[in-house]
Every structure is written in structure tokens, then in C-alpha cells.
A and B are shown apart, each in its own frame.
Chain A
């Protein structure tokens, strides 16, 4: 018997989110050699997103081309996606662990009568089902779980896996035969979206590099030092709670327990002391750099590299050096 794994496509721009392509890579591994990965996309423009699956190596796509899904909650996809999985004989469903995927996974587990895990950093096929590993307690510990019973839903933590990039395959799209989402589930409606202020560069939770500023920046008019360092690296800009509470930057930029959780390849903390509140949001970053004039600041205990000096001298020098090295 061959294993079939369904990947749920997350709409982004005209195609699919990077997290979906990361999920494809995990799905290919879980399906194993000889296994099959099938894509699923919902929404009125589902058909136009299918080619993004095909160029990542997933040719067979089930489409729920239903305009009612466009402004409905992600969880509304649970029943159509479960029906698609039944239709193609999939035992495992994989999603990117973004707000979209995390919102959908719980409802999908019930609709598909499956066990589930959100935000996994490792996934491996075992005889009983799928074994996963995931960070818990704000990155203070990791757990492994075995998802048993034949049917599994899992979302994968963004950036924890490489994205699948082909080779491309021919596209074979098929419509989902029936899409019976009850009206009550479709009632919540998205009425708008306000982009993050300074919406240039990558978004905070997608970025491979994040540069965050804290209280040590002292005043909003100094925050350009953080912005410029981020720009030199093509990084997203974040902030500590002290900065967003003071209104120097919008709350949407806050990294921490009350803000966003990020896990980039590189996190640079500028003038951030490292309160537990902040550490919870960034401690699972792969490499952490801290610049702070207090050598006893707790941030240096979790950082990999530290510079204990005046950020007003170090950060401009660092920006200049990165520009020089990158030739910009």
C-alpha cells in the first residue's frame, strides 16, 4: 500500500505561501519513496494557485473553487479539506504552521477524525503513525509525540524545514465533487486588512532575519538605526514590549509573549535587556545576536554572540560593514 499525503495550500499573493512549500517538503518525506503527495486549495481563485503546487513538484491538486471561502475563517476549510483527503485516500494532512494553518488544524482534526499536532519541527513516519517533535513552554523544552490511529493532521513550524522547489511536474487539477459547508460556519466575515506599518521588506513571522529594537534605543527618533540595520540585511523589524507600549512602533511589531513568536535563522536584539516576556517570542531563533551596553543583561544568557557596548556606536558600524560585505 502506498502512502498518500494531502497538503493544504495557503493563499498568498497570486500563489501559495512559503510555509505551504515547506509543508510540501515534509509531506514528501512522510509519504516516503513510492508515496504520493496531493495538493488542496480553496477559494474562488483556487485554480490560479494550483500551478504553484505543480512547480514545487505536486501535480495532482483538488480544488474547492468556492467564493464563499474567500473571506471566511481558515477553519471553514476543515470539511472540504477532510473530504478531499477522503477522496484521494490520504491518511496524513500537512499544513504550514502559520496563523492560517494553526487556525485550521484543530477543526480539521475533528472533521478528518484524526490526531493532530501544531508547529512541529520534525516529522517521521513510524509503524503506529507519525512521530513529531515540537518546542513547548516557550522554547524552554521540547516534546516528542506519536500521533497514532492511522489518520494524522500536522502543521509544520515556519522556517524549520526547507521549501520544496521542484522539479516541476504537469498539473492535473480536479474539482472537489461537493462542498457542503453549513451556512453557520461561513458567517464570520473578514472585512479588511491593515498592513503592518513600514510594510517594506518581509513580514515579521516569515523573515529569515529579524532585527528588533528595545528600550535601549531611548527615543523613537533613534529607531532608524534599527530600521537601517534591518534594511542592510533584508530583515524584518521587530520591537520589544517597552517600545510598542510607548507607542514608538505599532503593537503589530511586538515580539514576545503578548506579541508575535518568531523563529528566524538570525535574530539581532538591539538595546533589549531580555525580559522573559520577550525571550518567549524569540528564543527558538537559530542564531541570536545581542547588542546592549549592560554586560549583565539577561539577553546575553540566551544569545550566541554578544557585544556589550553602546548601540549608538556599534549599530551604525555594523550596518556599514554589512553593506560593504554585501556590496550595497
Chain B
């Protein structure tokens, strides 16, 4: 099985967020872009499937400027992915998730065989969750999101998986090809060994050039990035007895917060 896993360089969780001087988007100055949450889970899932289906290869693909993609690609290679490809994308629509999906699809189609294409269900920064569905539709393969517990049944050559939805958990099965958006794994992703990290520093990264530099007319343009005013911290309720605390809280919820009938 040829498994493609798409990852996005995302600001480190500890990053201090601030807007660019013009206020339109996150200021990337001093921010380290790394492999995070949902994507780590997608890489882990790809590597688990590789163990289940003998002879499989895992190809990691990242979209964005080389200054950001190479870090996450090398991190993925160090975890056990077989090949890496950086997709420059269209610099004019770098922040547009639908354009990113289209760019990834072009690069994946050009790379060669793809039986299964994995995505995190959304990126940890913009939380759009659009790229997987967009790329799948552009590739002409089916897409299922919010996927958990993905397994390959070698006997039937079918995938079996769960889908975590509002009312519970669905069970699904599908032949290949398929694209999925993965819920973050409940089992902790593996960590890379030092020799693997050192090897990944010298591993080759294929580069898929940008197809067109023209700004598309249909696009999503970031116009403002704002941090909420810092939360003041909770109003702590002073009380004489548990019942007093309960009465005071319920009164505040009804009269001040107005969330309670």
C-alpha cells in the first residue's frame, strides 16, 4: 500500500501569538513551525498501517515555504516515513486552505501511486479542516473525516475504521483508494530515536514546484488577527456553607451571566 500523509508546519504550542503590524495575520517572526497534534497522529497512523500491510511505503508531503516545510518533513522521516516531498504551493494563496488542498492534490498526483492519503482532521493553527476534503475531491477519491482506529484488512484489502461524531461512534469500511481526516490519536505517537534524527538531517527532500504564481480570483484572504482581551480570571464565590455557595452561583448564572432559565 502506498500511503501519503500530508502534514502542515504549525506554530509550536508554546509560541507567543501576536498579530503582524498591519493586523491582518499572525506575525511569524520568532515563531518556530513544527509537526503538531493532529499531524503527529496522522504520521503515527501511517506508520501503524505500514506495520499492518507488509511492503507498504509512507510518503510524507508538506506544503509551504521551504523554511517551514523541511523541519516537519525531517521530523516525519525521523519517525519512520520513507520519502519526503515539499510542495511550494502558490505564494499568493499560502493562507488559503482550499488552494492548499488543490496544490497538494496536484503534487500527490504528480508523485505517483497513492492508495491512501492521510490528513489530520484540521491544522492546530487555523483549525479550518478543509484541506483533506478539498485535496480528495481534486484527486477524485472519496474522503471521510473525524476518523479513529484505522486498520487494514489484508485478506479483503479493505480499510476498517471508526468515525467520531456528535451522537457516538460510527463504524465504516472502504476499499482503496481513500483519503481520511484523522481525529487525534488516543494512543501516544512514537518519538524518534537519535540515530534516526541524525539520518533524517541528510535525507533527500523532493521538491514540487508551484504550478502558477498568479493570485487566484476565488480565494480566502486573512484580513484581521486578534487576541481576545486576557480573561480576568474567575470571579471567586465567597460563601459560608455549600448551600450558600450554590445559591450565590445560581443567582449569578441567572441574573448576571443570563445563561440559566
A residues apposed to B, CB below 8 Å: 73, 75-76, 78, 98-100, 102-111, 113-119, 131, 134-151, 182, 184-196, 199, 203-206, 209, 233, 251-252, 257-258, 260, 265-266, 276, 286-290, 295, 300-309, 313-314, 316-318, 320-322, 325-326
B residues apposed to A, CB below 8 Å: 11, 13, 17, 25-26, 37, 96-98, 101-102, 122, 124-138, 140-146, 163-175, 177-178, 181, 183-186, 216-228, 231, 233-237, 239, 241-243, 245-247, 249-250, 252-254, 257, 259-261
Number of A-B pairs whose CB atoms are under 8 Å?
293
A142 to B135, CA, bound (A): 25
- Contact in complex: A117, B128 (CB < 8 Å): yes
8 residue pairs, one from A and one from B, having the closest CB atoms? A106-B133, A149-B218, A306-B234, A188-B174, A317-B242, A303-B234, A321-B246, A106-B130
- Contact in complex: A189, B172 (CB < 8 Å): yes
Identify B259's interface contact among A141, A252, A287, CB under 8 A. Answer: A287
* Chain A residues whose CB sits within 8 angstroms of the CB of B143 once the complex forms: 73, 75, 103, 106-107
- Contact in complex: A188, B173 (CB < 8 Å): yes
A276 to B133, CA, bound (A): 28
- Contact in complex: B172, A190 (CB < 8 Å): yes
CB distance from A271 to the nearest CB of B (A): 15
* Chain A residues whose CB sits within 8 angstroms of the CB of B234 once the complex forms: 288, 290, 300-301, 303-306
- Contact in complex: B130, A149 (CB < 8 Å): no
- Contact in complex: A188, B97 (CB < 8 Å): no
A53 to B68, CA, bound (A): 46
CB distance from A189 to the nearest CB of B (A): 6
Task: Name 27 interchain pairs, CB-CB below 8 A, sorted by A.
Answer: A98-B165, A105-B133, A106-B97, A106-B134, A106-B143, A116-B134, A135-B127, A136-B126, A137-B11, A141-B17, A143-B25, A150-B217, A151-B218, A185-B141, A187-B174, A189-B173, A190-B172, A191-B172, A193-B170, A204-B166, A258-B184, A265-B259, A302-B231, A317-B241, A318-B245, A320-B246, A322-B246
* Chain A residues whose CB sits within 8 angstroms of the CB of B177 once the complex forms: 184
- Whether A109 contacts B144 in the complex (CB less than 8 A), given A135-B127, A305-B253, A309-B242, comes out as no
Interface centre among A113, A115, A150, A233 (most CB of B within 10 A): A115
* Chain A residues whose CB sits within 8 angstroms of the CB of B231 once the complex forms: 301-302
* Chain B residues whose CB sits within 8 angstroms of the CB of A320 once the complex forms: 243, 246
- Contact in complex: B144, A103 (CB < 8 Å): yes
Identify B173's interface contact among A108, A191, A260, A300, CB under 8 A. Answer: A191
CB distance from A42 to the nearest CB of B (A): 15
A73 to B252, CA, bound (A): 44
- Contact in complex: A113, B259 (CB < 8 Å): no
CB distance from B259 to the nearest CB of A (A): 4
- Whether A314 contacts B245 in the complex (CB less than 8 A), given A109-B130, A188-B142, A191-B173, comes out as yes
* Chain B residues whose CB sits within 8 angstroms of the CB of A106 once the complex forms: 97-98, 101, 129-137, 143
- Contact in complex: A110, B138 (CB < 8 Å): yes
- Whether A143 contacts B224 in the complex (CB less than 8 A), given A110-B102, A194-B168, comes out as yes
Q: A187-B175, A289-B253 are in contact. List 19 more A-B contacts (CB 8 A).
A: A73-B142, A102-B146, A103-B133, A103-B144, A106-B134, A116-B220, A138-B127, A145-B222, A146-B223, A147-B220, A148-B217, A149-B216, A184-B177, A188-B174, A304-B257, A307-B249, A316-B242, A320-B243, A326-B261
- Contact in complex: A195, B168 (CB < 8 Å): yes
- Contact in complex: B236, A107 (CB < 8 Å): no
CB distance from B230 to the nearest CB of A (A): 9
- Contact in complex: B259, A300 (CB < 8 Å): no
- Contact in complex: A305, B237 (CB < 8 Å): yes
A252 to B146, CA, bound (A): 12
A150 to B252, CA, bound (A): 46
* Chain B residues whose CB sits within 8 angstroms of the CB of A203 once the complex forms: 166-168
- Contact in complex: B174, A189 (CB < 8 Å): yes
Identify B252's interface contact among A147, A276, A305, CB under 8 A. Answer: A305
A145 to B98, CA, bound (A): 13
- Contact in complex: A118, B128 (CB < 8 Å): yes
Identify B218's interface contact among A98, A150, A251, A257, CB under 8 A. Answer: A150
- Contact in complex: A199, B13 (CB < 8 Å): no
CB distance from A267 to the nearest CB of B (A): 10
A303 to B231, CA, bound (A): 8
CB distance from A137 to the nearest CB of B (A): 6
CB distance from A51 to the nearest CB of B (A): 22
Identify B239's interface contact among A131, A139, A195, A307, CB under 8 A. Answer: A307
A290 to B233, CA, bound (A): 11
Identify A78's interface contact among B137, B168, B241, B243, CB under 8 A. Answer: B137
* Chain B residues whose CB sits within 8 angstroms of the CB of A325 once the complex forms: 250, 254
- Contact in complex: B137, A314 (CB < 8 Å): no
A106 to B143, CA, bound (A): 10
* Chain A residues whose CB sits within 8 angstroms of the CB of B235 once the complex forms: 304-306
- Contact in complex: B233, A300 (CB < 8 Å): yes
A188 to B143, CA, bound (A): 8
**Chain B residue, CB-CB nearest to A209:** B259
* Chain A residues whose CB sits within 8 angstroms of the CB of B250 once the complex forms: 318, 321-322, 325
**Chain A residue, CB-CB nearest to B222:** A145
* Chain A residues whose CB sits within 8 angstroms of the CB of B131 once the complex forms: 106
